[in-house]
Structure 1
Amino acid sequence: MKIGVVQMKISNKIDNNILKIVNFLKKAKVDEVDLVCFPEMALTGYNVQFLKSIDMNDKILFALDEISKLVSKYSVCCIIGHPFYEGKELKNRASILFPDGRYEKYDKLYPTEIEKKIFSEGKGPLVFEYKQKRFGIAICRDQNFYNIFKEYKDRGCDGVFILAAHYYSPNEARWKIDKNRSIPIARAVENEYYVFLANATGAHFNMISLGHSLIVDKRGCIVCEADEAGEHLLTAEI
């Protein structure tokens, strides 16, 4: 099974992000990727005006429907980060879109203090199956909490995807590079499964993310890693 991890710059305009996601899906098809993961909030970014718009869900659902058509056409399972309202609660969500039209969802369990002003917490971990493999999902700060990853091990996962958008001030972004590289490695070693980190890169609303998306094997060895600034599709056979 071939896994892909996308590192991309996220725009504050949904149309720009859709175009980029479509292009990466085409590349995943060419590279014969079975399952590809995009970063946290890759579909929309953190445009607060958009997040508070009354028609946000409609725009998200339309975009996911269009992406789902390509997922079906290319036979590539896709994990994508985006916001979504459940009633009055705004969730930081990862949707898994399957080629047969099915979908599953995971909501970030541990928003940051800043995010808590906008987003509500998710309800629990998610395990999904694809092509005889089992996977778990985490979003960004969730990686700090070992209990999530231990549950995924106990439930027989072959790997865990971490969708991230490590946006900080420039100094803090530089300071936290090693921390955000080392945690996925530690989670892989602790639980003896693959960890796939899809991180954003570039500037976004006066903050910056310094990339370093990773695919880590069950021994904690880095199979492949992106640089700080580039947009990439990392792939690995598992």
Structure 2
Amino acid sequence: MRKLSRPLLSAMRKNSYIIPPRQTKSSTMKKSCNSIKAILSLWIIICLFSGIGLQAQGNPLSVDPEGLKIRVAAGQFVLAPDLETNLEKINSMLDEAHSLGVELIVFPELGLTGYPPSDYESIDYIKQDRTEEALKHLQKKALKLDMAIAIGAGWKDDAGIWWNRAFFIDENGELLEYYDKIQQTSHERKFFKDGERLPAFEWKGIQLGMLICMDMRYPELWRIMRKQEVSLMLHLAAAYGGSVWKVPVLEGTMRANAASNGFHIISCNNAGPTPMMISAIYNNRGMILAKANYAVEQLILQDIIVGEPTGFVEFQDNVYQLENNASE
């Protein structure tokens, strides 16, 4: 065999005169399969961490046979320690949601006033008169945009007691209902009194309920809502500044709450820093229909059809009275 000279070899390399090895049909198919697997794996990873592919409108998993079809949203943003900054973000997201045809939007826990346990040693920074003005502004905004709004705020009642409160304003600008957080953390109890009621209320012919952040850890609260025939739950959260390992755990908790009680859930969390859960919309089978990116200020939306609650919901009302009858 004639040896190639160095100049010729250099010229061949320079001009990419490389003949690929001959491939058999089986090797080609094997490479194609590997490529497909790699693409699918990458897509799954992207979906888990960014929500891409989970926000398509009209996902069939969101549809009940009959019910109210509505476009819902969650407005995830970073809470500021002052009302004006938060209100500016809320107004911007409301305008964006309106342009997309949203009928009901949920914002984070204490989204209007900020989260005092993280930002201040005293709750005195919350000015009640300004909070009341901002709430009235949102009522007018809801009427103007024909959109229902769920928003959280630190609220002082006429007796001077502070509450971690979630408000529901309907599309007519009416303050339809409120809920005070029951299962608070120890540092929250330095500022707010524990809630004393679990109201369910009617909106557009369906039953709604509201819970706040840590309430999600207590199944009995969700079950009480289910027994009041709630079919759509609104969950406002400010779970941030903690451990990232909680993200999949709390996602699983929310999926279980939805599936175990047969209702849809719109869950909106603070965007950070270091969120412990991600804003998402769940259907009554516990599937995620839309999911925000991690630690990003973002609006997510989804079309859902909300009918009667579904799922395994045959209750044994005497379960808490049962004694342990196991033989010793």
Query: Normalising by structure 1, what TM-score?
Result: 0.92
Letter paired with 1:15: E
Q: Deviations over 1:139-198 (max 9, x none)?
A: 0001111111111111111111110010234xx2x1211122111100011001111110
Other structure's SS at 2:183 match: coil
1:93 equivalent in structure 2 = 165
1:120 aligned to which of 189, 193, 204: 193
Which letter maps to 1:52?
D
Sort the Cα spacing of 1:49 and 1:14 in 2 relative to 1 into closer, same or farther, 3 A: farther
1:18 pairs, out of 82, 87, 96, with 87
Q: Which amino acid aligns with 1:225?
A: K
From 70, 93, 103, the counterpart of 1:34 = 103
Higher strand share: 1
1:45 and 2:114 are equivalent in the alignment: yes
Distance 2:254 2:265 in 1: 6
Tell me if structure 1 keeps the 8 A contact 2:139–2:174. Answer: no
Q: Equivalents in 1 of 2:142, 2:122: separation in Å?
A: 25
| Aligned twin of 1:63 | 134
Equivalent-residue separation in structure 2 for 1:160 and 1:188 (angstroms)? 9
* Residue 102 (1) aligns with residue 174 (2): yes
Distance 1:12 1:101 in 2: 26
Letter in 2 for 1:186: A
Unaligned runs of 5+ residues in structure 2 are: 1-69, 305-328
Do structure 1's residue 191 and structure 2's residue 261 form an aligned pair? yes
Q: Identity of paired residues, percent? A: 27
The C-alpha deviation readout for 1:34-71, integer Å capped at 9, x for no partner, is: 11100001112124367214x72111101111111111
- Does structure 1 residue 237 correspond to structure 2 residue 278? no
How many residue pairs end up in the alignment? Answer: 230
Mapping of residues 199-214 of structure 1, within 5 Å: 199-203=269-273, 208-214=274-280
Which AA in structure 2 matches 1:100?
A: N
Q: Larger radius of gyration, structure 1 or 2?
A: 2
Give the Cα–Cα distance (whole angstroms) in 2 for the partners of residues 126 and 228 of structure 1.
31
Question: 41-50 or 151-160, which moves further after superposition?
Answer: 41-50
Is 1:78 the counterpart of 2:141? The answer is no
Maintained 8 Å contact 2:246/2:277: no
Larger displacement relative to structure 2 (139-148 or 174-183): 174-183
| 1-structure distance, mates of 2:236, 2:88 | 19
What are the within-5 Å matches in structure 2 for residues 139-178 of structure 1?
139-169=212-242, 172=243, 174-178=244-248
Q: Distance in 2 between matches of 1:211 and 1:237?
A: 22
SS class of match (1:209)? coil
For 2:218, give the aligned amino acid: F
Question: Are residues 50 and 100 of structure 1, via their aligned partners in 2, closer, same or farther at CA, if it must alter by over 3 Å?
Answer: farther
Tell me if the contact between 2:151 and 2:166 (Cα under 8 Å) persists in the aligned partners: yes
Is the contact made by 1:210 and 1:229 (CA closer than 8 Å) also made in structure 2?
A: no
1:177-224 per-residue CA deviation (whole Å, 9 max, x = no partner) reads 112211110001100111111000123xxxx32551111111111101
Query: Which contiguous aligned blocks of 4+ residues in structure 1 show a shift greater than 4 angstroms?
Result: none
1:181 matched residue in structure 2: 251
| CA displacement 1:69-92 (0-9 Å, x = unmatched) | 111100100000110012232110
Write the letter of the residue equivalent to 1:154. Answer: K
The one-letter code matched in structure 1 to 2:79 is: I
Mapped partners of 1:65, 1:14: distance in 2 = 14
Q: Which runs of 5+ in 1 are unaligned?
A: none
Query: How many angstroms apart in 2 are the aligned matches of 1:22 and 1:215?
Result: 21
